[in-house]
Amino acid sequence: MKKTLRAHDQRDTRQRADDQEVPEGAKPVYLLDREDQTRAKVLSNMLKQKRKEKAGKWDVPIPKVRATSEAEAFRALRSGKSKRKAWKRMVTKVTFVPDGFTRKPPKYERFIRPTGLRFKVAHVTHPELKATFQLPLLGVKKNPTSSLYTSLGIITKGTVIEVNVSDLGLVTQSGKVVWGKYAQVTNCPENDGCINAVLLV
Amino acid sequence: TMSSTADDNDDNGEDRAVLVQFVSETGEEAGPPLQALLGSTVADLKATLDAQLIVQSGDYDDQVIYKFFVDEAEVATSLAVAVDCGQVNERLLRIVYQPQALFRVRPVTRCTSSLPGHSEAVLSAAFSPDSRNLASGSGDAAVRFWDLSTETPLHECRGHKHWVLCIAWSPDGRRLASACKRGQICLWCPDTGKQIGRPLARHTQWVTSLAWRPLHLDSECRLLASASKDCTVILWDTIVGQVSRVISGHEQAVTQVRWGGTDLLYTGSRDRTVRVWRADDGALCRTLQQHAHWVNTLALSTDYAMRLGANEPGKPAPEIGAPRTELCERARRVYEAARRDQPERLVSGSDDFTLTLWTPETDKRPVARLTGHLQLVNDVRFSPDGRLLASASFDKSVRLWDGRTGKFLATLLGHVGRVYQVAWSADSRLLVSSSADSTLKLWDIGAAGGKNRLKPVNDLPGHADEVYAVDWSPDGQKVASGGKDRELKLWRN
């Protein structure tokens, strides 16, 4: 009986707010009601960003592309007096060569980039403005298949190229004029005869 | 050295005579135009000005130091340097003179003691108006008093049940009010460490700011205003321990309340408005609307003078047993000297990255809108002489503005984390700022010389975590700072 009475009393006594402990994480008035990222989250974000940069993984419109095999990109050329030697290769894809490019001496040239497949301009679309401009190329930044293709300047679908955007009149936050930006190629230039790309903003 | 025998044909620029007109900051001319040498130094200009003031008003204060400005440029070494010599011949040069504080506060360089004692982060720290006592409020629900002569803890006062968010000394320095996150306000006596009366509880949510009625209006320091997140401001009668008036009208949390020198209350709130109320009947006088986001902080140009109460800067404090009427009279003198016959200026800092300068006693429209910060403005302080304004922001910079017109003067860069609070020294020449990067930085404003990007004179590292509160004692001797690492640090020269 006594136990029942005691249990009854305890049930009636409401747990008063005064008995609770003072919570941790004291903040001054000006920081109350402000959503602050905890420091752990900030550091974790910074580390993730660094790792992404190291791995070279960028946020691009076409993340995965079909790799172009060497058989597809190059054609063997026969050379020599009796046309037996076949160490020369001719690039069958569109390439970009920089200004002031001079060929290596023809006797030693292993990769031949035909002038008919050399392009200087690209049609670049601004994704937000939805407008397309013809902008001169500055270089090939990365060809997803291999670094050999990047060094040769071969442009296939999914290649990241650098274009001259000084015509667009973009300005940075500190007031400097932006004149080069990256874009990713969205078509197969060797089939279409032109390079279409999307600007990476 | 007034030169009436100047040789105008002399080719040497330094010896040319020019016509000058001394004008005070408010635009009043000190007297008729005079001739002065182009090579006059600051001392020469002062002597000339003194001579003119004797003639005009019959008395002058030999001890006053002046700063001279020609066309917004300060005369640092000599007049010739500040003025473009080519155009001087035809013009009358208007030289604005600004009296500066006589005493010099020495820059703080070292931490003399780290005072442990709180078991949670220190959220607020304040020196009493006579610089005899130091109090701090912390997240462990305790208020602590510290003995400044030995730099040791004096009293620990427990009475709150939640984090002590704000503390405020009464203008006579006899009582301390502290408010907690549960909305309770307690009054403490600094000498004994005991609570005075019962806790004042009426707010339903946390108290964001406390403001005592100025001493020159109320010699017994009876009324205290508290602003809370529950959108009301309550005026308490602290002697009886009851609510005197409840002022409601804001639609969202009230973030700051300031008691003006003419018995007006200024409140800033998250509903983006600043409202002006009459303290005696609680009526709304004006609503000042300009900001686009929460109003975080308010500052009055006479804030420092009203904080000091009866303690005149640079002069000895009144004796402890002085009669109330004498204190009231001294406080009135300090207030009138700070106000200099101009309306009080109010500045509000907001989450929309701007500050606004108002003269709330007279006008509903702002005097100026101060833009430039890249993140929200957390703290704003007028310098003790009311001429400069410092704003601390989450964009890691402190900006200096002119206190009368709102013109941008300089950016103080150096912090690598958000800047939380700033505190001025009593002579308006030095500024200390506390930041989330756990350092305090000392800036020398008096020696800035017109540069618009300043570097700190002194770095005051030592805290282990973010520094939430900083205060400079009114006598200029010490700086107290407290933060997340639970220690209160005292800094001296």
pLDDT of residue B284: 94
DSSP state of B106: P
**pLDDT one-digit tens code per residue, A17-31:** 555 788 888 999 999
Stretch B388-414: mean pLDDT, rounded?
93
CB < 8 Å to B161, chain A: 18, 22
Is B165 in Cβ contact with A29 (below 8 Å)? yes
pLDDT at A3: 82
Ordered structural domains, chain B, with CATH = 17-100 (3.10.20.90), 110-492 (2.130.10.10)
Answer whether B140 sits within 8 Å of A32, measured CB to CB.
no
Whole-number Å distance between alpha carbons of B490 and B170: 22
Mean pLDDT of B70-96: 73
Q: Evaluate whether A194 touches A186 at the Cβ level (below 8 Å).
A: no
Q: Do A30 and B120 touch (CB under 8 A)?
A: no
For residue B376, what is the nearest residue in chain A, using CA coordinates? A30
Does B420 contact A29 at a Cβ distance shorter than 8 Å? no
Partners of residue B120 in chain A, C-beta under 8 Å: 22, 24, 26
Q: How far apart are CA B49 and CA B47, in angstroms?
A: 5
Whether the CB-CB separation of B274 and B346 falls below 8 Å is answered with yes
Mean pLDDT of chain B: 88
Residue A79: Cβ-neighbour burial (10 angstroms; 0-12, 13-18, 19+): middle
Q: Which residue has the higher pLDDT, B231 or A57?
A: B231
pLDDT at B204: 94
Which residues, at least 6 apart from B35, have a Cβ–Cβ distance to it below 8 Å? Answer: B2, B3, B4, B6, B17, B18, B19, B20
CA dihedral B45, B46, B49, B51 (to 10 degrees): -110
Q: What is the mean pLDDT of residues B99-125?
A: 88
Q: Three-state SS across chain A? A: CHHHHHHHHHHHCCCCHHHCCCCCCCCCHHHCCCCCCCHHHHHHHHHHHHHHHHHCCCCCCCCCCCCCCHHHHEEEEEECCCCCEEEEEEECCEECCCCCCCCCCCCCCCEECCHHHECCEEEEEECCCCEEEEEEEEEEEECCCCHHHHHHCEECCCCEEEEECHHHCCECCCCCECCEEEEEECCCHHHHCCCEEEECC
At B5 the pLDDT is: 44
List phi, psi (to 5°) of B348: -120, 135
In chain A, what residues touch B420 (CB-CB under 8 Å)? 28, 30
Q: What's the gap in Å between the CA of B484 and the closest CA on chain A? A: 8
Q: Is B393 exposed, middle or buried (0-12, 13-18, 19+ CB in 10 A)?
A: buried
Virtual torsion, Cα B238, B244, B250, B255, nearest 10 deg: 0
Q: Which two tokens stand for residue A62?
A: 């076409």
**Domain regions of chain A by residue span:** 70-199
DSSP per-residue string spanning B175-218? -EEEEETTSEEEEE-TTT-PEEEEEEE--SS-EEEEEEPPTTT-
CB contact under 8 A, A24 and B120: yes
Q: What is the pLDDT of residues B216-266, one digit of tens each?
A: 998 889 999 999 999 999 999 999 999 999 999 999 999 999 999 999 999
- Residue B274 in contact with residue B298, Cβ under 8 Å? yes
Which residue carries 């999914």 as its tokens?
A158
Let me know: does B326 contact B317? Beta carbons within 8 Å: no
pLDDT digits (tens, 9 = 90+) for A99-144: 999 999 988 999 999 999 999 999 999 887 788 889 999 999 999 9
Write out pLDDT tens, residues B187-228. 999 999 999 999 999 999 999 999 999 999 988 899 999 999
pTM assigned to the model: 0.71
Is it the case that residue B314 has pLDDT exceeding 70? no
Cα–Cα–Cα angle for B26, B32, B35, rounded to 5 degrees: 110
**CATH classification for the domain delimited by A70-199, as one of 2.40.10.310, 3.30.360.10, 3.40.50.300, 3.90.1200.10:** 2.40.10.310
Closest approach of B289 to chain A, Cα-based (Å): 21
pLDDT of residue B344: 92
A to B CB pairs, distance under 8 Å: 46
Nearest to B161 among A18, A25, A32 (CB): A18
Residue B94 has pLDDT above 90, yes or no: no
Lookup: tokens for A59: 């946020």
User: Cα separation of B350 and B370, whole Å?
Assistant: 11
| Residue B6: pLDDT over 60 | no
